Amino acid sequence: MKTVSLYVDKDTFVHKLEPVTKLWYAFTSVILSFIFPSIWMGLLFLSISVFLSLVARVLKNMVGFVSAVLVVSLTMLVIQGMFYKENATLVFTIGDLKFYKEGLVHATLLIIRIVNMITAFGLLILTTRPSDMVTNLVQKGLSPKLGYILSSVLQIIPQMLSAASTIIDAQRSRGLETEGNFSQKLKAFFALIGPLVLSSLVEARERAVAIEVRGFGATKRPTFVKLIPETRTDRFVKFIMKFVLVIAVVWRVTLWILK
Amino acid sequence: MAQMVNERSIKIENLWFAYKSEEYVLKGISLTIDERPTAIVGQNGAGKTTFVKLLKALLKPTKGDIWIFGQNTKDTTAAKLAKTVGLVFQNPSDQIFKSKVLDEVMFGPLNVFKDKHKAYENSLRALEIVGLSDKKEEHPYDLTLSERKLLCLASVLAMEPEVIILDEPTIAQDRYSTKLISEIIQQLVSLRKFVITITHDMDFVLENFSRTIVFTDGVVISDGETEKVLSDDRALEKAHLEVPWLIKLARRIGVNYDEIKNLRV
Amino acid sequence: MDTEVKKIVVENLSYTYPLSKIKALDNVSFSIFPGESVGIIGRNGAGKSTLCLALTGLVPSFFGGKRSGRVLIDGTDVLDIPKEKLVRKIGLVLQNPFSQISGAKMTVFEEVAFGLENVGLERDEILEKVEKILRRLDLWSKRDQNPFELSGGQLQRLAIASVLALEPEILVLDEPTSQLDPQGTTEVFEVLSELKKMGITIILVEHKFEKLVEHVDKLIFLHEGKLIGFSTPEEIFSMREIDEYNVGEPIYTSVCKKLNARKPNGKYPVHFEEAVEVLKGALKRHGTNG
Is residue C258 situated within a structural domain? yes
Q: Are residues A64 and A115 in the same domain?
A: yes
- Give me the count of residues in chain B: 265
Q: Residue C4's pLDDT is what?
A: 58
Per-residue DSSP letters for C109-124?
Answer: HHHHHHHHHHTT--HH
**Between B229 and A14, the higher pLDDT residue:** B229
Q: What CATH code is carried by the domain that includes residue C114? A: 3.40.50.300
The reply to whether residue C210 touches residue B245, judged by beta carbons under 8 angstroms, is yes
**Residue A2: its pLDDT value, please?**
54
Distance between CA C273 and CA C213 in Å, rounded?
12
Same domain, A26 and A123: yes
Q: What is the pLDDT of residues B94-136, one digit of tens each?
A: 888 888 999 999 999 998 898 899 999 999 999 999 999 999 9
> Structural domain of residue A27, as residue ranges?
13-128+229-258
Quick check: A159 contacting C, CB < 8 Å? Answer: yes
> What residues pair up with B67 in beta bridges, in sequence order?
B11, B72
- Do B85 and B112 touch, CB atoms closer than 8 A? no
State pTM to two decimals: 0.85
- Percentage of chain A lying above the pLDDT 90 cut: 5
Could you tell me if C115 and A214 are in contact, meaning their C-beta atoms sit under 8 angstroms apart?
yes
First vs last Cα of chain A: how many Å apart?
54
Amino acid C53: pLDDT: 95
Angle at A65 between CA A76 and CA A7, to 5 degrees: 155
Beta-bridge partner residues of B31: B12
Q: How far is C87 from chain B (nearest CA, A)?
A: 27
Asked whether residue A98 is assigned to any structural domain, the reply reads: yes
One domain, residues C194 and C62: yes
Are the C-beta atoms of residues B83 and A158 closer than 8 Å to each other? Answer: no
d(CA A224, CA C115): 11
pLDDT of C200 higher than 70: yes
Same domain, C42 and C170: yes
The sign of the torsion formed by the CA atoms of C211, C216, C221, C224 equals negative
Among C186, C203, C233, which residue terminates a domain? C233
In a domain, residue C243? The reply is no
**How many C-beta atoms surround the C-beta of residue C60 within 10 A?**
17
The confidence band for C78, taking pLDDT boundaries of 50, 70 and 90, is very high
Confidence band of C183 (pLDDT split at 50, 70, 90): confident
Instruction: Name chain A contacts of C98, Cβ cutoff 8 Å.
Output: 159, 203
Selecting from C99, C105, C126 the residue whose C-beta is nearest the C-beta of A203 gives: C99
**B249 with C95: Cβ contact below 8 A:** no
Closest partner residue to C166 among A3, A129, A215, by Cβ? A215
Which of chain A's residues have a Cβ under 8 Å away from the Cβ of B77? 172, 177
Same domain flag for C96 and C173? yes
Residue C247 with chain B: CB contacts under 8 Å: 174-176
β-sheet bridge partners, residue B220: B215
Size of interface B-C (CB pairs under 8 A): 96
Do residues A48 and A119 share a domain? yes
Averaged over A110-128, what is the pLDDT? 88
- In terms of CATH, what superfamily is B1-84+161-265? P-loop containing nucleotide triphosphate hydrolases (3.40.50.300)
Average pLDDT, chain C: 92
Together in a domain, C262 and C147: no
Any CB–CB contact under 8 A between A186 and chain B? no
Is the pLDDT at C51 greater than 50? The verdict is yes
Minimal Cβ distance to A195: which of B86, B93, B156: B93
Does one domain contain both C273 and C138?
no
Instruction: Kindly list the residues from chain C whose CB atom is less than 8 angstroms away from the CB atom of residue A203.
Output: 96, 98-99
For residue C289, what pLDDT is reported? 47
- Does C154 or A150 have the greater pLDDT score? C154
Judge if C287 and C144 occupy the same domain. Answer: no
C177, C265: one domain: no
| CB-CB neighbors (< 8 A) of B78 in chain A | 169, 172-173
Residues C45 and C164 in one domain: yes
Is the model's pLDDT at C8 over the cut of 50? yes
In this model, does residue A194 exceed pLDDT 60?
Answer: yes
Highest mean pLDDT among A38-52, A86-100, B216-230: B216-230
Across residues C155-159, what is the average pLDDT? 93
Domain with C274, as residue range(s), is 250-290
The arithmetic mean of pLDDT across residues A41-48, rounded, is 87
* Mean pLDDT on C158-174: 95
Tell me, what's the pLDDT at C223? Answer: 96
Number of domains chain A is built from: 2
The residue among C231 and B259 whose pLDDT is bigger is C231
Using the beta-carbon criterion (under 8 Å), do B159 and A174 form an inter-chain contact?
yes
Considering the domain architecture, whether residues A65 and A160 belong to the same structural domain is answered as no
Decide if pLDDT at B1 tops 50.
Answer: no
Query: Looking at chain C, which subunits does it touch, using at least 3 CB pairs closer than 8 Å as the criterion?
Result: A, B
From the candidates A173, A178, A206, which should be mutated to test the interface with B, based on the most B CB atoms within 10 A?
A173
Looking at A113-122, B59-68, C260-269, which range is the least confident one?
A: A113-122
Mutate to test the interface with B, among C223, C279, C284, C288 (most CBs of B within 10 A): C279
Bridge partners (DSSP) listed for residue A94: A97
Of the pLDDT bands very low, low, confident and very high (cuts 50, 70, 90), residue C231 is: very high
C59 and C196 fall within a common domain: yes
Is residue C59 in some structural domain? yes
Any idea what DSSP says for residue C140? Answer: G
Same domain flag for A237 and A116: yes
Mutate to test the interface with B, among A161, A162, A167, A174 (most CBs of B within 10 A): A174
ipTM confidence: 0.86
The shortest CB-CB distance from A223 to any of C117, C162, C163 is to C117
Residues A148 and A47 in one domain: no
pLDDT for A1: 42
Q: In this complex, do A131 and C106 lie within 8 Å of one another by their Cβ atoms?
A: yes
Amino acid identity, residue B77?
T
Cα nearest neighbour of A158 on chain C: C148
A213 to C119: CB separation less than 8 angstroms, yes or no: no
> Are residues C159 and C199 located together in one domain of the fold?
yes
Residue A100 has pLDDT above 60, yes or no: yes
Residues C257 and C227 occupy one common structural domain: no
Chain C residues with CB-CB distance to B179 below 8 A: 246, 248
Smallest Cα distance from A123 to chain C, Å: 22
Nearest CA distance, B227 vs chain A (angstrom): 32
When the pLDDT of each residue in chain B is averaged and rounded to a whole number, the result is 91
Q: Is the pLDDT of residue C109 over 90?
A: yes
Does the beta-carbon distance from C252 to B264 stay under 8 Å? no
Q: A122 with A156, same domain?
A: no
Give the lowest-confidence range in A178-187, C213-222, C274-283: A178-187
